[in-house]
Amino acid sequence: MLEATRTRISFSGEVLAAAAFLAATIVVGLLIVRELRVAPRALATSGEPSSSAATNAAVPPEAVSVPALMFGAHEIRVGDALDVAISHLDSTIKLTRSVVETGPIGPREIRSYEVSGTRFILVAEPFQRGGEQRVSAIYLQ
Q: What is the pLDDT of residue 141?
A: 82
Please tell me the distance from the alpha carbon of residue 117 to that of residue 26, in angstroms, as a whole number.
62
Whole-model pTM over 0.75 = no
Integer angstrom CA distances of residue 9 from 4, 12, 13: 16, 9, 13
**Cβ contact 91:75 at 8 Å:** no
Q: pLDDT digit string (tens) for 63-89?
A: 888 888 887 788 889 999 999 988 888
Residue ranges of the chain with per-residue pLDDT less than 70? 1-4, 6-11, 38-58
Calpha distance 24→27 (Å, rounded): 5
Q: What's residue 135's pLDDT?
A: 92
**pLDDT on residue 117:** 84
Task: Give the pLDDT confidence score for residue 43 in this predicted structure.
Answer: 54
Which DSSP string do the residues of 25-41 spell out, in sequence order?
HHHHHHHHHHHHHSPPT
What is the C-alpha to C-alpha distance for residues 110 and 133, in angstroms, rounded to an integer?
Answer: 11
